[in-house]
Chains A and B, each alone.
Chain A
Amino acid sequence: MSYKYHQFQVVGRGLPTETDEQPKIYRMKLWATNEVRAKSKFWYYLRKLKKVKKSNGQMLAINEIFEKNPTTIKNYGIWLRYQSRTGYHNMYKEYRDTTLNGAIEQMYTEMASRHRVRHHCIQVIKTATIPAKLCKRESTKQFHNSKIKFPLVFKKVRPPTRKLKTTYKASRPNLFV
Protein backbone atom coordinates (compact mmCIF):
# COMPACT_ATOMS: atom_id res chain seq x y z
CA MET A 1 0.00 0.00 0.00
CA SER A 2 1.65 3.22 -1.00
CA TYR A 3 0.52 6.24 0.91
CA LYS A 4 0.53 9.78 -0.35
CA TYR A 5 1.43 11.32 3.00
CA HIS A 6 4.57 10.20 4.76
CA GLN A 7 5.35 10.95 8.35
CA PHE A 8 8.66 12.68 8.99
CA GLN A 9 10.56 13.58 12.10
CA VAL A 10 12.32 16.88 11.50
CA VAL A 11 14.92 18.25 13.89
CA GLY A 12 16.32 21.74 13.61
CA ARG A 13 17.56 24.70 15.55
CA GLY A 14 18.61 28.30 15.09
CA LEU A 15 22.18 28.92 14.07
CA PRO A 16 24.59 29.41 17.01
CA THR A 17 25.51 33.08 17.57
CA GLU A 18 27.91 34.86 19.95
CA THR A 19 25.13 35.46 22.46
CA ASP A 20 23.68 31.96 22.20
CA GLU A 21 26.29 29.27 21.77
CA GLN A 22 23.92 26.33 22.16
CA PRO A 23 20.51 27.21 20.81
CA LYS A 24 17.64 24.97 21.70
CA ILE A 25 16.97 22.08 19.35
CA TYR A 26 13.39 21.55 18.22
CA ARG A 27 11.92 18.36 16.92
CA MET A 28 8.68 18.02 15.05
CA LYS A 29 6.68 15.21 13.60
CA LEU A 30 4.73 16.16 10.54
CA TRP A 31 3.12 14.78 7.42
CA ALA A 32 4.20 15.70 3.94
CA THR A 33 4.36 14.05 0.57
CA ASN A 34 8.13 14.24 0.45
CA GLU A 35 11.15 15.34 2.42
CA VAL A 36 11.49 18.72 0.78
CA ARG A 37 7.96 19.64 1.70
CA ALA A 38 8.49 18.33 5.21
CA LYS A 39 11.46 20.61 5.75
CA SER A 40 9.55 23.55 4.43
CA LYS A 41 6.61 22.80 6.69
CA PHE A 42 8.94 22.48 9.65
CA TRP A 43 10.25 26.02 9.18
CA TYR A 44 6.70 27.27 8.69
CA TYR A 45 5.63 25.96 12.07
CA LEU A 46 8.83 26.90 13.82
CA ARG A 47 8.55 30.47 12.59
CA LYS A 48 5.16 30.69 14.21
CA LEU A 49 6.39 29.36 17.52
CA LYS A 50 9.91 30.71 17.91
CA LYS A 51 11.87 33.63 16.57
CA VAL A 52 13.83 31.62 14.03
CA LYS A 53 13.69 31.37 10.27
CA LYS A 54 15.18 29.07 7.69
CA SER A 55 17.76 31.72 6.84
CA ASN A 56 19.09 31.81 10.39
CA GLY A 57 18.50 28.22 11.28
CA GLN A 58 19.85 24.84 10.39
CA MET A 59 18.26 21.48 9.79
CA LEU A 60 19.82 18.80 11.89
CA ALA A 61 17.99 15.66 10.89
CA ILE A 62 15.04 14.47 8.93
CA ASN A 63 13.91 10.88 9.14
CA GLU A 64 10.87 9.13 7.86
CA ILE A 65 8.78 7.41 10.48
CA PHE A 66 7.24 4.12 9.48
CA GLU A 67 4.37 2.31 11.06
CA LYS A 68 5.42 -0.22 13.63
CA ASN A 69 2.46 -2.61 13.23
CA PRO A 70 0.88 -2.18 9.83
CA THR A 71 -1.00 -5.44 10.17
CA THR A 72 -3.22 -4.50 13.11
CA ILE A 73 -6.22 -2.23 12.99
CA LYS A 74 -6.15 0.79 15.22
CA ASN A 75 -8.51 3.62 15.99
CA TYR A 76 -6.82 6.93 15.34
CA GLY A 77 -7.99 10.20 16.80
CA ILE A 78 -6.79 13.28 14.96
CA TRP A 79 -7.03 16.79 16.33
CA LEU A 80 -6.75 19.41 13.66
CA ARG A 81 -7.07 23.10 13.05
CA TYR A 82 -8.42 24.16 9.70
CA GLN A 83 -9.27 27.34 7.92
CA SER A 84 -12.73 27.58 6.49
CA ARG A 85 -14.14 30.40 4.41
CA THR A 86 -15.15 32.25 7.55
CA GLY A 87 -12.39 31.58 10.03
CA TYR A 88 -10.30 29.03 11.86
CA HIS A 89 -11.82 26.05 13.63
CA ASN A 90 -10.63 23.12 15.65
CA MET A 91 -11.82 19.65 15.00
CA TYR A 92 -11.46 16.17 16.35
CA LYS A 93 -11.91 13.27 13.95
CA GLU A 94 -11.66 9.54 14.38
CA TYR A 95 -10.52 7.01 11.80
CA ARG A 96 -10.07 3.30 11.80
CA ASP A 97 -7.06 2.17 9.81
CA THR A 98 -4.03 -0.04 9.92
CA THR A 99 -1.46 2.75 9.71
CA LEU A 100 -1.28 6.35 10.86
CA ASN A 101 -0.34 7.48 7.37
CA GLY A 102 -3.48 5.86 6.05
CA ALA A 103 -5.59 7.60 8.68
CA ILE A 104 -4.04 10.97 7.85
CA GLU A 105 -4.72 10.40 4.17
CA GLN A 106 -8.33 9.55 5.04
CA MET A 107 -8.52 12.74 7.06
CA TYR A 108 -7.26 14.94 4.25
CA THR A 109 -9.61 13.44 1.72
CA GLU A 110 -12.56 13.63 4.12
CA MET A 111 -11.89 17.27 4.99
CA ALA A 112 -11.66 18.07 1.31
CA SER A 113 -14.91 16.34 0.51
CA ARG A 114 -17.00 17.26 3.55
CA HIS A 115 -15.76 20.78 4.23
CA ARG A 116 -14.03 21.78 0.99
CA VAL A 117 -10.83 22.37 2.95
CA ARG A 118 -7.66 21.90 0.96
CA HIS A 119 -4.43 20.43 2.22
CA HIS A 120 -2.67 23.70 2.87
CA CYS A 121 -5.43 24.98 5.12
CA ILE A 122 -5.18 22.06 7.54
CA GLN A 123 -2.82 21.88 10.48
CA VAL A 124 -2.58 18.62 12.37
CA ILE A 125 -2.36 19.41 16.07
CA LYS A 126 -2.15 15.97 17.52
CA THR A 127 -2.72 12.34 16.66
CA ALA A 128 -3.21 9.42 18.99
CA THR A 129 -4.20 5.79 18.90
CA ILE A 130 -7.39 5.53 20.86
CA PRO A 131 -8.39 2.35 22.63
CA ALA A 132 -11.81 1.14 21.60
CA LYS A 133 -13.52 2.19 24.84
CA LEU A 134 -12.61 5.84 24.45
CA CYS A 135 -13.76 6.33 20.91
CA LYS A 136 -16.29 9.07 20.57
CA ARG A 137 -17.70 8.75 17.11
CA GLU A 138 -20.48 6.30 16.37
CA SER A 139 -19.18 5.55 12.91
CA THR A 140 -15.96 4.08 14.34
CA LYS A 141 -17.68 2.50 17.32
CA GLN A 142 -19.98 0.48 15.08
CA PHE A 143 -17.03 -1.58 13.91
CA HIS A 144 -15.98 -2.47 17.45
CA ASN A 145 -17.81 -5.73 17.28
CA SER A 146 -15.95 -9.00 17.41
CA LYS A 147 -18.91 -10.78 15.79
CA ILE A 148 -19.35 -8.25 13.04
CA LYS A 149 -21.41 -9.52 10.17
CA PHE A 150 -22.95 -7.76 7.20
CA PRO A 151 -23.74 -8.69 3.64
CA LEU A 152 -22.24 -7.00 0.63
CA VAL A 153 -25.35 -5.67 -0.93
CA PHE A 154 -24.18 -4.43 -4.29
CA LYS A 155 -21.75 -6.45 -6.34
CA LYS A 156 -20.07 -4.58 -9.13
CA VAL A 157 -18.80 -6.93 -11.80
CA ARG A 158 -15.33 -5.85 -12.78
CA PRO A 159 -12.95 -7.29 -15.35
CA PRO A 160 -9.90 -8.57 -13.50
CA THR A 161 -7.52 -6.36 -15.43
CA ARG A 162 -7.92 -2.99 -17.11
CA LYS A 163 -6.96 -4.61 -20.39
CA LEU A 164 -10.12 -6.72 -20.47
CA LYS A 165 -12.38 -3.70 -20.07
CA THR A 166 -14.92 -3.30 -22.90
CA THR A 167 -17.30 -0.43 -23.53
CA TYR A 168 -20.18 -2.60 -24.69
CA LYS A 169 -21.45 -5.73 -23.04
CA ALA A 170 -23.60 -8.46 -24.46
CA SER A 171 -25.91 -8.75 -21.45
CA ARG A 172 -26.79 -6.74 -18.38
CA PRO A 173 -24.67 -7.66 -15.41
CA ASN A 174 -26.17 -9.38 -12.38
CA LEU A 175 -25.61 -7.09 -9.42
CA PHE A 176 -26.88 -9.42 -6.73
CA VAL A 177 -24.21 -10.90 -4.52
Chain B
Amino acid sequence: MPFKRYVEIGRIALVNYGKDYGKLVVIVDVIYQNRALVDAPDMVRGQMNFKRLTLTDIKIDIKRVPNKKTLIAAMEAADVKSKWENSSWGRKLIVQKKRASLNDFDRFKVMLAKIKKAGVVRQELAKLKKETA
Protein backbone atom coordinates (compact mmCIF):
# COMPACT_ATOMS: atom_id res chain seq x y z
CA MET B 1 0.00 0.00 0.00
CA PRO B 2 1.57 3.32 -0.95
CA PHE B 3 1.54 6.15 1.49
CA LYS B 4 -1.27 8.65 1.38
CA ARG B 5 -0.49 11.02 4.22
CA TYR B 6 2.79 12.83 3.88
CA VAL B 7 4.62 15.18 6.15
CA GLU B 8 4.63 18.36 4.13
CA ILE B 9 4.27 22.06 4.68
CA GLY B 10 0.60 22.68 5.27
CA ARG B 11 -0.32 19.23 6.53
CA ILE B 12 -2.75 19.29 9.44
CA ALA B 13 -1.85 16.98 12.27
CA LEU B 14 -3.43 16.01 15.55
CA VAL B 15 -1.31 16.16 18.67
CA ASN B 16 -1.53 12.82 20.43
CA TYR B 17 0.74 13.27 23.44
CA GLY B 18 1.79 15.91 25.82
CA LYS B 19 0.59 19.30 26.87
CA ASP B 20 -1.26 20.16 23.62
CA TYR B 21 -3.06 16.85 23.42
CA GLY B 22 -6.01 16.88 21.07
CA LYS B 23 -5.10 20.05 19.23
CA LEU B 24 -5.06 20.41 15.48
CA VAL B 25 -1.80 21.95 14.33
CA VAL B 26 -0.33 22.83 10.97
CA ILE B 27 3.12 21.61 10.01
CA VAL B 28 4.78 24.81 9.01
CA ASP B 29 8.34 23.60 8.38
CA VAL B 30 10.49 20.54 8.91
CA ILE B 31 13.44 21.00 11.22
CA TYR B 32 15.01 17.61 11.02
CA GLN B 33 14.21 14.03 10.38
CA ASN B 34 12.02 13.74 13.41
CA ARG B 35 11.02 17.27 14.36
CA ALA B 36 8.73 19.78 12.79
CA LEU B 37 7.86 23.38 13.36
CA VAL B 38 4.15 23.48 14.05
CA ASP B 39 1.72 26.31 14.41
CA ALA B 40 -1.91 26.69 15.38
CA PRO B 41 -4.07 29.79 15.61
CA ASP B 42 -4.06 29.70 19.40
CA MET B 43 -0.51 28.74 20.23
CA VAL B 44 2.97 30.13 19.82
CA ARG B 45 4.83 28.59 16.92
CA GLY B 46 7.02 25.84 18.30
CA GLN B 47 8.76 22.62 17.51
CA MET B 48 7.30 19.19 18.03
CA ASN B 49 8.54 15.68 17.53
CA PHE B 50 6.74 13.68 14.85
CA LYS B 51 6.13 11.05 17.46
CA ARG B 52 3.66 13.40 19.07
CA LEU B 53 1.76 14.04 15.86
CA THR B 54 -0.71 11.96 13.92
CA LEU B 55 -1.13 13.15 10.36
CA THR B 56 -4.62 13.77 9.04
CA ASP B 57 -5.94 13.87 5.50
CA ILE B 58 -6.33 17.62 5.52
CA LYS B 59 -3.75 19.81 3.88
CA ILE B 60 -3.76 23.55 3.41
CA ASP B 61 -1.89 25.63 0.91
CA ILE B 62 0.80 27.70 2.58
CA LYS B 63 4.37 28.64 1.93
CA ARG B 64 7.19 27.80 4.31
CA VAL B 65 6.72 29.40 7.73
CA PRO B 66 3.94 31.89 7.11
CA ASN B 67 3.17 34.54 9.68
CA LYS B 68 0.19 34.08 11.96
CA LYS B 69 -2.19 36.21 9.90
CA THR B 70 -1.48 34.36 6.64
CA LEU B 71 -1.81 31.07 8.45
CA ILE B 72 -5.18 31.91 9.93
CA ALA B 73 -6.38 33.22 6.57
CA ALA B 74 -5.26 30.02 4.83
CA MET B 75 -6.96 27.91 7.45
CA GLU B 76 -10.19 29.84 6.96
CA ALA B 77 -9.91 29.53 3.19
CA ALA B 78 -9.42 25.78 3.36
CA ASP B 79 -12.15 25.58 6.02
CA VAL B 80 -10.14 23.23 8.15
CA LYS B 81 -12.46 23.35 11.14
CA SER B 82 -15.60 22.23 9.35
CA LYS B 83 -13.72 19.65 7.28
CA TRP B 84 -12.36 18.19 10.49
CA GLU B 85 -15.68 18.21 12.31
CA ASN B 86 -17.43 16.54 9.38
CA SER B 87 -14.82 13.85 8.92
CA SER B 88 -15.57 10.58 10.66
CA TRP B 89 -12.40 10.86 12.76
CA GLY B 90 -13.32 14.36 13.89
CA ARG B 91 -16.87 13.35 14.68
CA LYS B 92 -15.70 10.41 16.77
CA LEU B 93 -13.49 12.70 18.81
CA ILE B 94 -16.35 15.12 19.40
CA VAL B 95 -18.58 12.28 20.57
CA GLN B 96 -15.84 11.01 22.87
CA LYS B 97 -15.46 14.44 24.40
CA LYS B 98 -19.19 14.77 24.85
CA ARG B 99 -19.44 11.40 26.54
CA ALA B 100 -16.62 12.27 28.91
CA SER B 101 -18.26 15.52 29.93
CA LEU B 102 -21.73 14.15 30.74
CA ASN B 103 -23.07 14.67 34.22
CA ASP B 104 -25.33 12.18 35.98
CA PHE B 105 -28.55 13.67 34.68
CA ASP B 106 -27.24 13.53 31.11
CA ARG B 107 -26.28 9.92 31.56
CA PHE B 108 -29.80 9.21 32.82
CA LYS B 109 -31.21 10.85 29.72
CA VAL B 110 -28.87 8.79 27.54
CA MET B 111 -30.07 5.63 29.28
CA LEU B 112 -33.72 6.48 28.60
CA ALA B 113 -32.93 7.27 24.97
CA LYS B 114 -31.10 3.96 24.59
CA ILE B 115 -34.01 2.04 26.05
CA LYS B 116 -36.42 3.80 23.72
CA LYS B 117 -34.25 3.11 20.68
CA ALA B 118 -33.92 -0.55 21.63
CA GLY B 119 -37.71 -0.77 22.06
CA VAL B 120 -38.36 0.64 18.59
CA VAL B 121 -35.78 -1.69 17.01
CA ARG B 122 -37.30 -4.70 18.73
CA GLN B 123 -40.80 -3.76 17.54
CA GLU B 124 -39.60 -3.59 13.92
CA LEU B 125 -37.74 -6.87 14.33
CA ALA B 126 -40.90 -8.54 15.72
CA LYS B 127 -42.88 -7.23 12.75
CA LEU B 128 -40.34 -8.62 10.28
CA LYS B 129 -40.29 -11.94 12.11
CA LYS B 130 -44.09 -12.18 11.90
CA GLU B 131 -43.98 -11.53 8.15
CA THR B 132 -41.46 -14.25 7.41
CA ALA B 133 -43.00 -16.73 9.84
A98 to B39, CA, bound (A): 14
Known contacts being A160-B21, A176-B1, is A150 close to B6, with CB within 8 Å? yes
Q: Does A156 contact B (CB under 8 A)?
A: yes
Known contacts being A73-B37, A156-B51, A158-B51, is A147 close to B8, with CB within 8 Å? yes
Inter-subunit contact B17/A72 (CB<8 Å): no
Inter-subunit contact B51/A98 (CB<8 Å): no
Q: Does A91 contact B (CB under 8 A)?
A: no
Q: Does B55 contact A (CB under 8 A)?
A: yes
Our count of residue pairs bridging A and B at CB distance below 8 angstroms stands at 61
The number of chain B residues touching the other chain, given as a range, is 20 to 34
Inter-subunit contact A98/B1 (CB<8 Å): no
A176 to B65, CA, bound (A): 29
Instruction: Considering the complex, give the chain A residue whose CB is closest to the CB of B5.
Output: A177
Instruction: Considering the complex, give the chain A residue whose CB is closest to the CB of B13.
Output: A152
Inter-subunit contact B65/A72 (CB<8 Å): yes
B-chain residues with CB within 8 Å of residue A148 when the two chains form the complex? 7-9, 30
Contact of B45 (CB < 8 Å), options: A1, A71, A156, A176: A71
Inter-subunit contact A143/B32 (CB<8 Å): yes
Contact digits for A145-176, partner B, Cβ 8 Å, 1 yes 0 no:
01111111101101011000000000000001
A72 to B45, CA, bound (A): 9
A77 to B3, CA, bound (A): 34
Add 5 more A-B contacts to A70-B46, A151-B7 (CB < 8 A).
A71-B45, A96-B32, A158-B17, A160-B16, A176-B1
Report, nearest first, the 4 A-B pairs whose CB atoms are least far apart.
A151-B3, A71-B45, A149-B8, A149-B6
* 26 pairs, CB–CB < 8 Å, chain A vs chain B: A70-B46, A71-B37, A71-B45, A71-B46, A72-B65, A73-B37, A73-B65, A96-B31, A96-B32, A98-B46, A143-B32, A146-B9, A147-B8, A148-B8, A149-B6, A149-B7, A150-B8, A151-B5, A151-B7, A152-B50, A152-B55, A158-B17, A160-B16, A176-B1, A177-B3, A177-B5
